[in-house]
A and B are shown apart, each in its own frame.
Chain A
Amino acid sequence: MHLRAIIMSAFFLAGAAPSALAEEIPAATTATNSTAPEADGRTWKLTAGGFLQADAVVVDQSSQDQLSPAAGEPLNTQRFLVRRAHVFVEAHQNALASVIEMDANTVKGMSAGLARAELALGRVRPAWDAEISLGLLRIPFGLEVQEWDPDRFFLERSNVSRALFPGTFDLGARGKVSWRFVRAQFAVMNGSPLADASFPARDPNAAKDFVGRLGVDATVVERVRISAGFSSLKGTGFHPGTPATKDVLVWRDQNEDGIVQLSEIQVIAGRAATPSQNFSRFAVGADSRIGATLPRLGRLMVFGEVVWGANLDRALLPADPVASGRDLREFGWVVGASQEFTTRAALGIRYDFYNPDVDGFRQTPTAIAPKDMSFRTWTVTVSWGGLGRDRLLLEYQHNRNALAVAADGSPTSLAADTLTLRGQVVFQ
């Protein structure tokens, strides 16, 4: 317990890249589309931009032309959709900066809302710079969470990243410091990211999540750049209580004759309300990315990330240790690489592994056996369109999971491979 606290404290010394706004929005943004005179200390300088990602899901093996029997939602996933349509406005005045970003998409029908709202106070010096921010901020954890969506070579983040951090933004306050090659970030946040399965962008308890990253980012030799870091999160989850229920009279047709008989009428007694409870959760992670420019070929990017967590899954199989009666430990990792070929084409491959319940088990007729709950995905992506962010992407995902039942009753993989085409445009 003490060791964990010491490790956590060390990680909380801070995070990754400098200046949130400068990192979040492409550097070019700050020099274009200005709608006000250059900042002179009292006037605001406004810049605007955005990006669009439109998808065509060509094949999805899990797609069906049916409605979900439980929720009534369409099960067909082979469709056209707008994955992200973002517009943002950024404002600067001396050390003060602000950005407001809106997102619209059709992932679950037409929806639009706030994607980012950040107020930042920064100071830049030759040897170091620092910044504090308040609002709806990017969560300073690991590599994938902090990547801007159009910059990511693959269409979406890995399973472990999406499960532990559903939506990469959360409400809170964040500090950033960079000194030479050292990058540090620390944030206090609500703990309910934008795509949280339970209370998105809200906070059901007063306790806050503490999250940070300590890392390095440096050019070690000519054309080779390395960034690496350790991240940690310590927070408090929420188990919802239940309201009081009334007595209910239920008819169970036990002899299946369709006739109500006295012995088939049962009283389900009402129950008193149960209180909500908080529970502890945490995660630690390590990440690294190496970028190198190869002669004749182009840029090569290799990256990897590993995360251990407990009770932190908030999307894929939401963790609730109060309901399950035990802690749910998560483990996941991802490795990948992308290589540019000529100035127009690039190829990337990624493998990610995520186990939402390392201690999972199942009851067999004769014993309690371990259950491998892991999700494993191979991703192959081809990009066409040059080295900028405007490009066409074709991605095949080969998914393995434990969501189906084999003929002998054991868990097996549910076919869920996908082939997706994406068009992406960034305007600024």
Chain B
Amino acid sequence: MRCRPVWLFLPLFLAACGGVASDTGLEALVRVTGGQFYRGAIDKLSSASTPTVVEVRNSMTVIAPGLLNKQVSGRLDPGSTAMAIGFAGDIGYWILPADVADSDSPTQPTFHAVLSFALALPAKSYDLIVRAVSVPGVFGPAAHVALDVQQTLPPTGTLVVSLWWDTGSDLDLHVVEPNGTEIWAGNLNSYDAYAVTPTTDAGAWNEGGILDFDSNAACVLDGRCNENVVWSATPPAGTYLARVDTFSLCGNTAARWTVEAFLNGASLGRAEGESVASNQRFSKGKGSGLAALSFTVPPP
């Protein structure tokens, strides 16, 4: 636990160092709903030979940063009163009281942990450690669960224009093609079936630039805070314009955003800015938003 300096009341302060520190554990890479957070690496705790973790049940070993409500359950040795869980090398671990035994193994306490993961979880393999605990705080040997974090990659395409921002706000990406066609939440695809020669190609719609997602639409927060317009086929050559429309800050004071365009994986340009309350006032729809980035796609 942490003891903060209360030098004026040293005798009482010394007596005060007995409680568990109040800590939300939001800085940890893995979090456990309803768990008590303790600072310290779970793999560095001294270990006894018992109690042991009898079984760990886990369905998927590949996870994504920011994943919510991943279930991990199992059974513990008789005599276990709690379980500790956390990533090896993380800043802390979580304690959950053990649950009652099930009818299959009536002497073995069970556990049910609901995990969530940090949004900034680097992509690599992690060692999730589960340890049974008995009175008076004796930790048993570690049971290991390997979890691979799969990084969320930007969508693949010939030309990709990405917008991402940092708060739970409703920002919209608008991209104007060289011919003046605007792609946004009201026009998801720049392909115009009526403007070209009639075709029997069922996949022709894929030739346009497509908006992949309207994130946080109408302030229904989805946590993505990211929108992309993607051309899978060869994009029209010419000068493009990307605009950022602040539809709503959803109660936030500001949103810092970044727009970047990629052609075959290489950056064509990048712009950063900040949306504030006054940006919400402008009219919404086609043509709205502040000009953020202009870039040119050369002829193929």
| Contact in complex: B60, A405 (CB < 8 Å) | no
In Å, the complex CA distance between A380 and B97 comes to 35
Asked whether any CB of chain A lies closer than 8 Å to the CB of B193, the reply is no
Taking CB as reference atom, which chain B residue is nearest A415? B19
| Contact in complex: A410, B15 (CB < 8 Å) | no
Given contacts A59-B4, A256-B60, A380-B12, contact A404 B19 (CB under 8 A): yes
Given contacts A61-B4, A405-B95, contact A416 B22 (CB under 8 A): yes
> For residue B137, which residues in chain A have a CB less than 8 angstroms away from its CB?
406-408
- Interface-lining segment among A46-54, A283-291, A393-401: A393-401
| Contact in complex: A69, B26 (CB < 8 Å) | yes
In Å, the complex CA distance between A366 and B26 comes to 32
Asked whether any CB of chain B lies closer than 8 Å to the CB of A94, the reply is no
Asked whether any CB of chain A lies closer than 8 Å to the CB of B300, the reply is no
Asked whether any CB of chain B lies closer than 8 Å to the CB of A255, the reply is yes
Asked whether any CB of chain A lies closer than 8 Å to the CB of B84, the reply is yes
- Interface-lining segment among B98-106, B229-237, B242-250, B265-273: B98-106
| Contact in complex: A61, B133 (CB < 8 Å) | no
> For residue A396, which residues in chain B have a CB less than 8 angstroms away from its CB?
6, 8-9, 12
Write the A37-79 contact mask toward B (1 if CB under 8 angstroms, else 0). Answer: 0000000000000000000000101111010110000010000
In Å, the complex CA distance between A415 and B2 comes to 9
In Å, the complex CA distance between A61 and B19 comes to 10
Contact of B81 among A64, A364, A400, A416 (CB under 8 A): A364
Within 8 A of A (CB), among B6-57: 6, 8-9, 12-13, 15-24, 26, 35-36, 38
**Residues of B contacting A: mostly:** loop
Asked whether any CB of chain B lies closer than 8 Å to the CB of A201, the reply is no
> For residue B20, which residues in chain A have a CB less than 8 angstroms away from its CB?
404-406, 412-415
Asked whether any CB of chain A lies closer than 8 Å to the CB of B109, the reply is yes
Taking CB as reference atom, which chain A residue is nearest B67? A256
Nearest CB in chain B: distance from A251 CB, A? 12
In Å, the complex CA distance between A66 and B23 comes to 9
Write the A295-326 contact mask toward B (1 if CB under 8 angstroms, else 0). Answer: 00000000000000000000000000000000
Given contacts A62-B22, A409-B97, contact A417 B16 (CB under 8 A): yes
| Contact in complex: A398, B59 (CB < 8 Å) | no
| Contact in complex: A64, B22 (CB < 8 Å) | yes
Asked whether any CB of chain A lies closer than 8 Å to the CB of B134, the reply is yes
Given contacts A365-B99, A409-B133, contact A69 B24 (CB under 8 A): yes
> For residue B9, which residues in chain A have a CB less than 8 angstroms away from its CB?
380, 396, 419
> For residue A409, which residues in chain B have a CB less than 8 angstroms away from its CB?
81-82, 95-98, 133
Given contacts A256-B60, A415-B21, A417-B16, contact A59 B6 (CB under 8 A): yes
Within 8 A of A (CB), among B71-109: 76, 80-82, 84, 95-101, 109
A-B contact pairs, 15 of them (CB 8 A): A75-B24, A256-B59, A365-B76, A404-B22, A405-B20, A406-B137, A407-B82, A408-B82, A408-B136, A409-B81, A409-B133, A410-B97, A417-B13, A419-B8, A419-B9
New contact pairs (6) apart from A396-B8, A406-B36, A409-B97, CB-CB < 8 Å:
A399-B19, A415-B18, A415-B19, A416-B19, A416-B22, A417-B13
Give B contacts to A, CB under 8 Å: 1-6, 8-9, 12-13, 15-24, 26, 35-36, 38, 59-60, 63-64, 70, 76, 80-82, 84, 95-101, 109-110, 133-139
Give A contacts to B, CB under 8 Å: 59, 61-64, 66, 68-69, 75, 254-258, 362-366, 378, 380, 394, 396, 398-400, 404-410, 412-417, 419
